Chain A
Amino acid sequence: MASLITCPHCGQRPKEEFTIKGDAGLTRPAPDADADVWYDYVYLRDNPKGLHKEYWHHSSGCRRWLIVERDTVTHKVHSVADAALAELGGAA
């Protein structure tokens, strides 16, 4: 019926307003990184049981990319942060 994500910019919204992309723990490798590193980045994904950080896009809202920390067992959302602001330490 619904689950809710609290967007740091827009407040609590239902999942219908969002698009999920997946693991937010990945770091894009340097262009000259080993093929193995690129392979991991592009193709391999963990499927953890428990806490998991994922990219969610508030596609029908503010269109910001968020990092949602979610429990894959209980679906409980533990934290939501703006991805860019988190990376830049809050000073975009």
Chain B
Amino acid sequence: MPDLPTSKPALAGKAPLQGVQFAVEALPEGHLLQLMGPTTLDELRALFDTFGLGGSVIRAAGFRQWYVMGEAPLEPAALRGIAGALPRGVFLSDQSHGRVRIRVSGPRAAQVLARGTAVDLHGSQFPAGAAAMTLFGHIPVHLSRTGEAEFELTVLRSFAEALFGELEPFAA
């Protein structure tokens, strides 16, 4: 056995796929924190900046809920530090292993996503930075737009392989 405990990504072995005007890629499993309670995006931004997590993105994930996501894994001690610094009534649930991020990109990305979600992805309605909790087909996802032709899907770990499998044919 390896000396150090190793974490096996949910989509281990899934190579990025590049199809015609559409690419799909599993993102590294870093940190993904679910924040709940009466706070604001600005307040959370300032807090995470003080923890040296300025590179983590914070996305709305429903009423008074946010996901803080970044590529670096966080140690339990660091998580306890953040949890302890949260405003009163705001709570943190570590979902770093519970949810998996998949990036889809390319000029056809919005069109492919419209196969599964009823969210209007037109640039005027869902610009870069926008996020939504929705369904892709039968699978619940958190969908965010990270660029004009780039999106991220955050999905429960147990569904990650199934979701990747749904997207694969479009990158064939």
Contact = CB atoms under 8 A, between A and B. Distances in A.
A binds B: yes
Chain B interface main SS type: loop
A88 interface: no
Contacts of B134: 10, 13, 17, 60-61
B133 A62 contact: yes
A82 interface: yes
B140 interface: yes
A13 B119 contact: yes
A57 to B, nearest CB: 12
Interface residues of B, number: 14
A60 B135 contact: yes
B132 interface: yes
Nearest to B118: A14
Contacts of B118: 2, 13-14, 16-17
Nearest to A61: B133
Given A13-B119, A14-B118, A64 B135 contact: no
Interface in B42-79: 61-65
Interface string B119-136: 110000000000011110
B119 A9 contact: no
A63 interface: yes
B139 to A, nearest CB: 9
A17 B62 CA distance: 14
A17 to B, nearest CB: 6
Interface residues of A, number: 16
B135 A10 contact: no
A66 to B, nearest CB: 11
A64 B140 contact: no
Nearest to A8: B63
Contacts of A13: 118-119, 134
Contacts of A92: 38, 64
A60 B63 contact: no
Interface string A61-83: 11110000000000000000010
A82 B135 contact: no
B140 A60 contact: yes
Interface in A20-38: none
Interface of B: 38, 61-65, 118-120, 132-135, 140
Interface of A: 2, 9-14, 16-17, 60-64, 82, 92
Smallest CB-CB A-B distances: 8 pairs: A62-B62, A14-B118, A60-B135, A9-B63, A61-B133, A60-B140, A64-B63, A62-B133
